[in-house]
Amino acid sequence: MDVKRLPPSELAMACALAALIAATRFHHFGSAMYLPDASLAVFFLGGLYLRRALAFGACIGLAALLDYLAIAHGGVGDWCVTPAYAFLLPTYACLWWAGVWCSGHERHGWRGYTRLAGALLVATVFAFLISNASFYGLSGYFGELSLAEYAARVARYFPPYLASTVAYVAAAMVLEAGLRSPHIVTTV
């Protein structure tokens, strides 16, 4: 992908998504001082707006680089970096693919937004299941914990996982609708 050949709107979107993931990658659920991690939304929106496989690879590379920097220089622990870390690839691919799928359909109006919301929900559920099941099975931390016990413990994390993803995507849809509105007057 030659950056010089990207349409300006696509380059701007890629930069905006890169900035969003860079600004939020370090705090999963957020706090009073930090926004929650936007990674899931960034991969969905990347699929929706960028669609290219190379852009997906660039997002994966950026996420891995940010994780490395957080662990090596940011004081973040490496507890999550286990053999299961490789399963972030299919986790994020679920969201990217759902975004690509939505890009081929009308996404405005109540039907479009309903389709988009459904795709986002299904992709987020699958992403949650892939990332958590792989962590349970491959991290080496839960040898004495049954799958049912693990699922009960992890289930409490799904609502904020979903809520932050939906909030970021909804904000992007509102921004897009505002930018597409004929009522916005631009001056040169």
* Exposure string for 81-96, b = 16+ CB within 10 A, e = fewer: eeebbebbeebbbbbb
Q: Could you list the residue range(s) of the whole structural domain that residue 36 is in?
A: 3-180
Q: 97 pLDDT band (50/70/90 cuts)? A: very high
Please report whether residue 187 resides in a domain.
Answer: no
Instruction: Please state the domain count of the chain.
Output: 1
pLDDT at 30 over 70: no
CA distance 172 to 100: 15
Does some domain include residue 47?
A: yes
Can you tell me the distance from the alpha carbon of 155 to that of 133, in angstroms, rounded to the nearest whole number? 12
User: Which pTM was predicted?
Assistant: 0.89
Residue 31's pLDDT band (cuts 50, 70, 90): low
In a domain, 73, yes or no: yes
CA angle, residues 56, 84, 48, in degrees to nearest 5: 20
Is 125 a domain residue?
yes
Residue 185: inside a domain, yes or no? Answer: no
pLDDT for res 186: 54
Residue 140 domain-assigned (yes or no): yes
Is residue 186 assigned to a domain? Answer: no
Q: How confident is the model at residue 25 (pLDDT cuts 50, 70, 90)?
A: confident
Residue 108 pLDDT exceeds 90:
no
- Nearest CA to 17 out of 53, 41, 52 is that of 41
188 is a domain residue: no
